[in-house]
């Protein structure tokens, strides 16, 4: 039966472990000195060799013929542990056995001595998944373990392990394996398996595996299944379903040019090729991360074919744009997990990258406001743009108010009366606002005016649905029936369409005003107190009035 590459090529001795010299050296030293601890904690990201080293350590402490600390691989214990038939080495998956009952059973088993080996070894994988009760049960065993029991705990989230457990274990941190070490191991495996893997193909898989050798071997297995004659960089990206550098640099160029149409066209091509939105978002994050590191002067792992493109793009793409792209893509990657339409989410993301002003998120608006404040502090002239979609209406110049020369009559008047008279003349009613309508006639074509207004200003058309209008001289006076509606008509934004609608329906350039008496509110009418009226009438009739305090 076929066996996956990552299982077939799992290291059997410490010398085969790739990229973890700090762990291997320490463990070999303890084994050679016969100073094996009772509990170990292996922590690190996935695919870095935690479970592999745990099995090698279990074989090393129980091997009948150890070789300088390494297991021989030939004795009964080594072969039994490799094929999973050795009863004194127990593997427990804490993700599915995380209850207190499972750990209680384990504690009961520890009282029995090993059947065929020196140590009874318990390998607990994903130990951070244990429940609170299970941690308490395990702690009691770790405090006073039998001399023949060895615990090896493995986890990817060491921060979830209680401090009381950490203090009773020897901790080893597994690092992400360098891409160069992964590529070398892939070439070694492909040579033995007769896989046509090229050097650039191995480098590509190593970059994609993110420091996990197991993931790299799984990717190699996937590409091998496609029966491709030569597994180079291009063939591997096609087999895995990646967009590739050509599309990534085209998208980043569209972002640099703020060309949203070009970005969406590229996205359409990728979707036509059945590219996955999640994978594309991950690729773009990695792509802009490389640009960011290049601009910061850090080393980047790229193929020789894209070094020139990367250098050129890093020169023209502003660092602020790169950071904004990374932030937006990270949010999009999170949103893609929940959205029902991933294509729309990616389209919105690309349009935001090409047009940052279209981003209406709170953080984006806050950043733009901060930038504006900084520019104003430096004395920059900020151009004022009109609101999007709103027509610009010129403000009419104020009418000149002429004051007649002072006559002999006004010269003899008190100063206060002169000022009052001048101020009264300065208050001029705007031409579009009519006084109390007199000598008016109904405007018979008002329905046609409303019909024309519906095409020019639909909101105002709805407001004036049940209104009427009258004609007085060169003015068309609208009976708005409400003071608020009257204020709405006075606004230049709505006045211009209304004037145009009147011109269309009547064929004449009438001015538009308000039929004021229709919506005069009670607050505008002065209501005299009846008691004051009675007092005034009494005083006018000569009747003495005495006011008491």
Separation between Cα atoms, residue 282 and residue 323, nearest integer Å: 15
Place of tokens 């609608």: 501
Q: Does residue 248 contact residue 284 with C-beta atoms inside 8 Å?
A: yes
Structure-derived torsion over alpha carbons of residues 293, 294, 296, 298, reported in degrees to the nearest 10: 70
Distances (CA, A) of 55 to 61, 121, 211, 281, 495: 10, 9, 21, 37, 84
Strand 468-472 relative to strand 441-442: parallel, antiparallel, unpaired?
A: antiparallel
Which residues are within 8 A (CB) of 315 and not within 5 positions of it... i.e. 6 or more apart? none
The class level of CATH for 179-240 reads mainly alpha
Strand 468-472 relative to strand 475-479: parallel, antiparallel, unpaired?
A: antiparallel
Q: Burial, 155: exposed, middle or buried (Cβ in 10 Å; 0-12, 13-18, 19+)?
A: buried
CATH code for residues 442-514: 3.30.300.180
Strand 441-442 relative to strand 39-44: parallel, antiparallel, unpaired?
A: unpaired
Q: Which of 42, 47, 1, 4 minimizes the C-alpha distance to 23?
A: 42
At the topology level, CATH places domain 245-373 in Zinc Finger, Delta Prime; domain 3 (1.20.272)
Domain positions in the chain: 5-173, 179-240, 245-373, 442-514
Q: Which of 157, 182, 201, 173 minimizes the C-alpha distance to 17?
A: 182
Over its length of 549 residues, how does the chain's per-residue pLDDT go in tens digits?
A: 788 888 888 999 999 999 999 999 999 999 999 899 999 999 999 999 999 999 999 999 999 888 888 898 888 888 899 888 888 899 988 888 888 888 888 888 888 888 888 899 999 999 999 888 888 888 888 888 888 999 999 999 999 999 999 999 999 999 999 989 999 999 999 999 888 888 888 988 998 888 899 999 998 988 887 667 788 888 888 888 888 888 899 999 999 999 999 999 999 998 888 888 898 999 999 999 999 999 998 888 777 778 888 888 888 888 888 999 999 999 999 999 888 889 999 999 999 999 887 766 655 666 667 667 777 777 666 565 544 444 555 555 656 555 555 444 444 555 555 444 444 444 344 444 444 444 577 888 888 888 888 888 887 777 777 788 888 878 888 876 666 667 777 777 778 888 888 888 888 888 888 776 544 444 444 445 555 666 676 666 666 666 655
Q: CA end-to-end span of the chain, whole Å?
A: 116
At the topology level, CATH places domain 5-173 in Rossmann fold (3.40.50)
Q: Which of 289, 365, 291, 358 minimizes the C-alpha distance to 327?
A: 289
Q: Do domains 5-173 and 245-373 have the same CATH topology?
A: no
Query: H helices within 194-276, ranges in order?
Result: 199-208, 213-224, 233-240, 245-257, 260-272
């Amino acid at each position: 039966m076929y066996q996956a590459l990552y299982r077939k090529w799992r290291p059997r001795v410490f010398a085969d472990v790739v990229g973890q010299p700090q762990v291997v050296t320490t463990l070999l030293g303890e084994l050679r000195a016969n100073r094996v601890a009772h509990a170990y904690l292996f922590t690190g990201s996935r695919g870095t060799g935690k479970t592999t080293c745990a099995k090698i350590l279990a074989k090393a402490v129980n091997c009948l013929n150890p070789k300088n600390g390494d297991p021989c691989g030939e004795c009964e214990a080594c072969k039994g542990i490799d094929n999973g038939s050795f009863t004194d080495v127990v593997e427990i998956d804490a993700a599915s056995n995380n209850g207190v009952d499972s750990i209680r059973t384990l504690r009961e088993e520890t009282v029995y001595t090993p059947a065929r080996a020196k140590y009874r070894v318990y390998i607990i994988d994903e130990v951070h998944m244990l429940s609170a009760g299970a941690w308490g049960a395990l702690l009691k065993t770790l405090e006073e373990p039998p001399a023949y029991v060895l615990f090896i705990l493995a986890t990817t989230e060491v921060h979830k392990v209680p401090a009381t457990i950490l203090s009773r274990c020897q901790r080893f941190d597994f690092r992400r394996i360098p891409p160069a070490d992964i590529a070398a191991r892939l070439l070694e495996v492909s040579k033995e398996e007769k896989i046509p893997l090229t050097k650039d193909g191995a480098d590509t898989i190593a970059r994609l595996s993110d420091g996990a050798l197991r993931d790299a071997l799984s990717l190699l297995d996937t590409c091998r299944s496609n029966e491709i004659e030569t597994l180079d960089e291009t063939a591997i990206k096609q087999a895995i379903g990646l967009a590739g550098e050509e599309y990534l640099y085209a998208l980043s160029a569209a972002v640099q040019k703020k060309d949203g149409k070009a970005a969406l066209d590229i996205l359409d091509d990728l979707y036509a090729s059945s590219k996955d939105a999640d994978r594309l978002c991950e690729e773009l994050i990695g792509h802009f991360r490389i640009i960011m590191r290049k601009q910061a002067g850090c080393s980047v792992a790229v193929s020789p074919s894209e070094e020139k493109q990367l250098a050129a793009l890093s020169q023209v793409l502003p660092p602020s744009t790169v950071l904004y792209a990374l932030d937006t893509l990270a949010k999009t990657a999170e949103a893609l997990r929940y959205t029902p339409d991933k294509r729309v989410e990616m389209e919105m993301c690309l349009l935001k990258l090409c047009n940052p002003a279209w981003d209406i998120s709170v953080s984006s608006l806050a950043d733009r406001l901060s930038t504006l404040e900084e520019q104003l502090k430096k004395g920059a002239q900020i151009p004022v743009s009109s609101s999007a979609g709103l027509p610009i209406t010129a403000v009419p110049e104020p009418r000149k108010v002429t004051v007649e020369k002072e006559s002999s009559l006004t010269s003899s008047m008190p100063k206060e009366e002169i000022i009052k008279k001048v101020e009264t003349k300065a208050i001029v009613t705007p031409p579009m606002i009519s006084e109390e309508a007199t000598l008016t006639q109904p405007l018979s074509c008002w329905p046609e005016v409303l019909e024309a207004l519906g095409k020019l200003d639909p909101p105002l058309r709805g407001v004036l649905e049940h209104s009427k209008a009258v004609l007085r001289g060169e003015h068309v006076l609208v009976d708005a029936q409400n003071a608020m509606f009257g204020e709405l008509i006075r606004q230049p934004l709505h006045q211009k369409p209304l004037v145009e609608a009147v011109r269309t329906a009547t064929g004449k350039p009438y001015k538009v005003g308000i039929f004021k008496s229709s919506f005069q509110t009670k607050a505008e009418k002065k209501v005299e107190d009846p008691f004051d009226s009675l007092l005034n009438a009494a005083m006018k009739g000569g009747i003495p009035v005495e006011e008491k305090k």
